[in-house]
């Protein structure tokens, strides 16, 4: 399947928007996470946890899913293919890994935000809630690696890509018939 030029541009615009949006939402989450880790004000920590849950469920998760979906459409509908080039395959695997970790962490974030939203939660308990800095910084790093791979597109075909390239060359070679 090859995308028409107009649909390819539309899909690329959607993919870039979702991917950069995902990255931006993670940066916003990280700012809130640093606030949780450094603030001594229980009300600020409470508000940050509630905002972290909102950013996760309303921005990060939907943008991650849309980025994955639009990336799949782009790879399957262009010359790059899904399994032809190492950079595409590595980007796909890192994106899937990031989404799996994100979905696992989203439950933890929602649970802690529920504790934070409870007016009966003491100030001491609020300040004892652990930040998720390892996941937010790690997620940001993974997204930046994917971004760099997608911008630079390092050369290198997978074994599948190499076979496909050889098949295409054979199909396009001129055939000589009856030459003696």
Each residue's pLDDT tens digit, 119-140 = 999 999 999 999 999 999 999 9
Domain limits, the chain: 5-172
φ/ψ of 157, rounded to 5, equals -95, 145
The SS3 of residue 118 is coil
Exposure letters 84-113 (e unless 16+ CB within 10 A, then b): bbbbbbbbbeebeebbeebeebbeebeebb
pLDDT given for residue 168 in this prediction: 86
Q: What share of the chain is helix, strand, coil (3-state, %, to 5)?
A: 80, 0, 20
- Output the pLDDT for position 180: 57
Low-confidence ranges of the chain (pLDDT < 70): 175-180
pLDDT of residue 2: 86
For 94-113, what is each residue's pLDDT tens digit? Answer: 999 999 999 999 999 999 99
What's the pLDDT score for residue 86?
A: 93
pLDDT score, position 1? 72
How large is the C-alpha radius of gyration of the chain? 22
| Residue 142 to residue 122: CA distance in whole angstroms | 35
CA distance 123 to 139: 29
* CA dihedral sign, ordered 28, 34, 37, 42: negative
Q: What is the pTM of this model?
A: 0.89
pLDDT at 52: 98
């Amino acid at each position: 399947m090859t995308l028409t030029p107009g649909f390819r541009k539309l899909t690329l615009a959607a993919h870039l928007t979702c991917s950069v949006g995902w990255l931006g939402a993670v940066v916003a989450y990280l700012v809130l996470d640093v606030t949780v880790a450094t603030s001594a004000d229980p009300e600020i920590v409470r508000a940050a946890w509630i905002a972290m849950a909102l950013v996760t469920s309303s921005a990060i998760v939907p943008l991650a899913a849309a980025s994955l979906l639009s990336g799949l459409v782009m790879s399957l509908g262009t010359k790059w293919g899904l399994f032809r080039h190492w950079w595409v395959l590595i980007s796909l695997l890192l994106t899937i890994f990031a989404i799996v970790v994100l979905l696992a962490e989203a439950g933890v974030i929602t649970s802690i935000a529920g504790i934070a939203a409870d007016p009966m939660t003491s100030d001491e308990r609020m300040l004892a809630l652990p930040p998720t800095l390892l996941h937010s910084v790690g997620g940001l790093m993974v997204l930046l690696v994917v971004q760099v791979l997608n911008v630079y597109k390092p050369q290198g075909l997978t074994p599948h890509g190499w076979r496909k390239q050889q098949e295409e060359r054979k199909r396009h070679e001129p055939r000589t018939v009856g030459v003696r």
